[in-house]
Structure 1
Amino acid sequence: MSLRFAAPDTPALPLHLVAEEALEGWLTGQAPEVAAWVRAMGFTGALGRVLVVPDAAGGIAMGLGGYGSATSRARGRFHLAGIAAALPAGTYRVAGLPEDQAETEALGWLLSHYAYERYRDQSPAKARLVAPEGVDAARLEIIAAGEALTRDLINTPANDLGPDALEAACAAIADQQGARVTCVRGEDLLAQNFPLIHTVGRASAVAPRLMDMRWGQSGPKLTLVGKGVCFDTGGLNLKPGSSMGLMKKDMGGAATVLGLAHMIMALGLPVQLRVLIPAVENAVAGNAFRPGDILTARNGLTVEVNNTDAEGRLVLADALSYGAEDAPDLMISMATLTGAARVALGPDLAPYYTDDTRFAGALEAAAARVADPVWRLPFHTPYEAMIEPGIADLDNAPSGGFAGSITAALFLRRFAGGLNYSHFDIYGWTPSAAPARPKGGVGMGARALLEALPEVLGL
């Protein structure tokens, strides 16, 4: 698997992107035998269609990729990636790529070469690309590597990626980028006042832990907090088998912030970066926490447990409280937190919450530029009463089923210390293959954040 561009001086075949409405005009500029071949083969420029034009010796003279219409392009993204997957092996130099889409489409080409091959060889795209003129190839390769890291972590099953292996992955990234990592494990979580992380993870055979990675000596303070539930049985509120099948991806928040952290560090953004990952397995044993238990969090708030399957917000609560103590300029949490977010927005949109309209504006403009869609949902303060059970300060799973993603976000905000805080309730999974996104783990929101950070933090 190579997520890199071909060297600029590599001999390359021309690859012409041709939209449906531009096909006839393009054909008039070609040799008669080329135009005849294209017409004979029924190439229309339909989105994703690929045609190879032979040369006189029976080799490849050029490739054609259908760029569809404005309507068909609006229904998807990474169209060049779909073309890359259908091309024969070789190195290509693309022509006809709209300038405003060059970076996104070139990144999609790189990501079309991603495959998770730990347990079995796969068949990613074989065609290579010379980076389009004007594209920052090195930056895109770093972004692709960060996304691949996220996907690999999510795709790895829990027997090979428990809290200990997630800690090892975090340490490996830190070593690569010159960051520092400390980790609090097992009973030391109680000694150092991380009671909710300990409570959620204590029933597992692998000790719960909190990883703390730091990088950078100057610039604004940016803290990323990622939910690292390496497998979620639901605890004593046991999930049915149909709901447990994808729970290896319940550490998708941790995987996504690690991928984003790789991008930030490798690109050398002038920030003081901190990454906090509470890593646990929500398991069932005699010492598992119970429905009805009342827990006291790091910041002193009490929480009534009304569902042990709402564990992600508990481990994040301690991590957010800890992050807030350092008073960062911006704190962001990412988590595969609620099914309610999926019901509302489906698997492709990353819902996020913020009270900062400037942050929201910068993020949404960035998301549109880099084809990493996000959608703002409200920290709707009138719903605060829904997370207040009366017997304790907070309820981890309000009854009634209304506004589940919003109430979870409001719960987390109680631990963010009044800081500039944003929360992403992501899915982290592509349920069916799409261009540049094979079925499986996927990053959501990270590229949009990377694009927005210079404006948000004044870099």
Structure 2
Amino acid sequence: MSDAIHVYLQSEPAAEKWGKKASLTPVEQGYQIHFDASQALRSIQKAARQLDTLGIEQVELSGDGWTLDYQWAFYLGFTSAKKLNGVSWQGDDAATLQQLERCYSWSRQLTNQTPEQLSPEVLAQEAIDFLTPLAPDAISHRVIRGEELASEGWVGIHGVGRGSERPPVMLVLDYNPTGKADAPVEAVLVGKGITFDSGGYSIKPSESMSYMKCDMGGAATVAGALGLAILQGLTQRVQLVLCCAENLISGHAYKLGDILTYKNGTTVEILNSDAEGRLVLADGLLYATETGAPLIIDAATLTGAAMVALGNDYNALFSLDTELQQRALGYAEQVKEPTWPLPLAPWHQQQCPSPYADTANSRAMKGGGTGGASNAAGFLSRFVRPDGKGWLHFDLASAFNSSNSALWAAGATGRGIRVIAEVLRQETSKR
């Protein structure tokens, strides 16, 4: 990176001539970032964002003070949908940062692809192609397509995806580094892979539909997290389940008033075809529960309600297992990935009633009504162990930005990868 701009850290405020709040000032070989120690990560990320807007392509982090977290905050601000590299890492943390960059750049690039490029089958294949080279002797997979889903009882993925000419798929990828075919599955990651979400017959307005290529962000996040955990030395058997479909309108699309009967006998009336994410995740959670894995983590760009509650700064975390949830929040703090708990209790299962089925998939009102994120989590809790032990649900409110902000370029952020990888590593290492 001989042509790279050097960037230094400076804890002292900028000289008055640059303005009282200047966070970025020029020096002989590049720029220095004046960061506020009380909110260092945000101020460094904001300054990096400014450097990107100047059109700078390559930087070298120089001088003292560049901790792993500071370097990573810079990367997140400096990179964009058009530029997912360009940072030269510094010090002993370089190898770890390269691992993070590899997984985040893959996940973000995938999420930013156009809906035409990324069909359900392509999404599944991209995950296979990313993960298999990381541990070629330890990874196998199965892809269940189209009508095979219906014949095997995966009614949620099939029902949501049948309106598209491009078939829905369920990817089951098995990472088994033990070499033992009968090794227990210690964890299952489940990701929502809606490669485009029109809303179906509950059609979205254009301003909401325009960025619905991001609705497979949960699948990209859990696949990226598994990749990161593998690179960091994961030694336990873990499976990945991606629930992939396009939610489109056609003569074959599922309709309001339809009832789906899941493999566990739960009947679900469709009151909102735009509440499709929970329908496909239900299949993935049922599969995960069937494995007997003591840890199940799902991730999804599931509800606008989580974004209303938390903005774009935090991902929401739900669980009926309060001890596990508290540990997960601790892991999130360790890796500096903002995560916030939202309410979930057993009675949330009853918040979407139906006179015709065990439950509806939503309530027949805008956004699913009040408490929408908790109600969606309550719906999902029907498809894991009755007490919810060992289950975490991430509603990825901060996984994607539809426009540029002071912290982020427009597009996927990758937020969620580090914390899920950390939960995976820490919890499975206890067994």
| Same structural fold, with TM-score higher than 0.5 when normalized by the shorter chain | yes
Structure 2 match to 1:411 = 379
Structure 1 match to 2:93 = 136
1:52 and 2:23 are equivalent in the alignment: no
SS of the residue aligned with 2:279? helix
Give, in whole Å, the separation in 2 of the partners of 1:73 and 1:303: 47
Task: Please tell me whether the aligned partners of residues 251 and 336 of structure 1 are also in contact (alpha carbons under 8 angstroms).
Answer: yes
Give, in whole Å, the separation in 2 of the partners of 1:89 and 1:152: 17
Structure 1 position 436, deviation (Å): 7.1
Structure 1 position 288, deviation (Å): 1.2
Structure 2 match to 1:104 = 69
- 5+ unaligned residues in a row in structure 2: which ranges? 179-183
Structure 1 match to 2:34 = 67
Structure 2 match to 1:269 = 234
Task: Please tell me whether the aligned partners of residues 175 and 238 of structure 2 are also in contact (alpha carbons under 8 angstroms).
Answer: yes
Deviations 1:195-244 (A, max 9, x none): 22111111101011100011124486121100011111111122222221
Give, in whole Å, the separation in 1 of the partners of 2:65 and 2:74: 13
Structure 1 position 453, deviation (Å): 3.6
> What are the equivalent positions in structure 2 for 1:158-237 lying under 5 Å apart?
158-177=115-134, 178=136, 179-218=139-178, 221-237=186-202
Structure 2 match to 1:455 = 426
Partner amino acid, structure 2, of 1:222: A
Structure 1 position 324, deviation (Å): 0.6
Give, in whole Å, the separation in 2 of the partners of 1:88 and 1:287: 49
Give, in whole Å, the separation in 2 of the partners of 1:444 and 1:125: 17
Task: Please tell me whether the aligned partners of residues 191 and 222 of structure 2 are also in contact (alpha carbons under 8 angstroms).
Answer: yes
1:442 and 2:410 are equivalent in the alignment: no
Task: Please tell me whether the aligned partners of residues 304 and 389 of structure 1 are also in contact (alpha carbons under 8 angstroms).
Answer: yes
Structure 1 position 11, deviation (Å): 12
Partner amino acid, structure 2, of 1:378: P
Partner amino acid, structure 2, of 1:316: L
Q: 1:319 to 1:12 in 2, by over 3 A?
A: closer
Task: Please tell me whether the aligned partners of residues 224 and 274 of structure 1 are also in contact (alpha carbons under 8 angstroms).
Answer: yes
| RMSD (Å) for aligned C-alpha atoms | 2.8
Task: Please tell me whether the aligned partners of residues 320 and 345 of structure 2 are also in contact (alpha carbons under 8 angstroms).
Answer: no
Task: Please tell me whether the aligned partners of residues 304 and 392 of structure 1 are also in contact (alpha carbons under 8 angstroms).
Answer: yes
Partner amino acid, structure 2, of 1:68: F
Deviations 1:91-135 (A, max 9, x none): 64533416xxx1112223444564434xxxx6x785x53513xx4
- 5+ unaligned residues in a row in structure 1: which ranges? 1-5, 24-38, 54-59
Q: TM-score, normalised by structure 2?
A: 0.87
SS of the residue aligned with 1:227? strand
Percent identity between the aligned chains? 31
Question: Which segment drifts farther, 398-407 or 197-206?
Answer: 398-407
Structure 1 position 360, deviation (Å): 2.6
Q: 1:377 to 1:88 in 2, by over 3 A?
A: closer
Give, in whole Å, the separation in 1 of the partners of 2:105 and 2:133: 15
> What are the equivalent positions in structure 2 for 1:4-403 lying under 5 Å apart?
15-20=7-12, 42-43=17-18, 46=21, 48-53=23-28, 60=29, 63-70=30-37, 73=40, 76=43, 78=45, 81-82=48-49, 85=52, 92=60, 94-97=62-65, 102-111=67-76, 114-117=79-82, 128-132=87-91, 135-177=92-134, 178=136, 179-218=139-178, 221-399=186-364, 401-403=369-371
Task: Please tell me whether the aligned partners of residues 77 and 435 of structure 1 are also in contact (alpha carbons under 8 angstroms).
Answer: no
Deviations 1:334-387 (A, max 9, x none): 111111111111122100101233333332233233331000012123333212
Task: Please tell me whether the aligned partners of residues 303 and 392 of structure 1 are also in contact (alpha carbons under 8 angstroms).
Answer: yes
Task: Please tell me whether the aligned partners of residues 7 and 33 of structure 2 are also in contact (alpha carbons under 8 angstroms).
Answer: no
Structure 2 match to 1:423 = 393
Give, in whole Å, the separation in 2 of the partners of 1:203 and 1:92: 49
Task: Please tell me whether the aligned partners of residues 112 and 412 of structure 2 are also in contact (alpha carbons under 8 angstroms).
Answer: yes
Task: Please tell me whether the aligned partners of residues 404 and 410 of structure 2 are also in contact (alpha carbons under 8 angstroms).
Answer: yes
Structure 1 position 82, deviation (Å): 4.2
Q: 1:81 to 1:284 in 2, by over 3 A?
A: same
Partner amino acid, structure 2, of 1:383: H
Structure 2 match to 1:34 = none
SS of the residue aligned with 1:299? coil
Deviations 1:15-71 (A, max 9, x none): 5422235x7xxxxxxxxxxxxxxx6x9357956313122xxxxxx4xx451323345
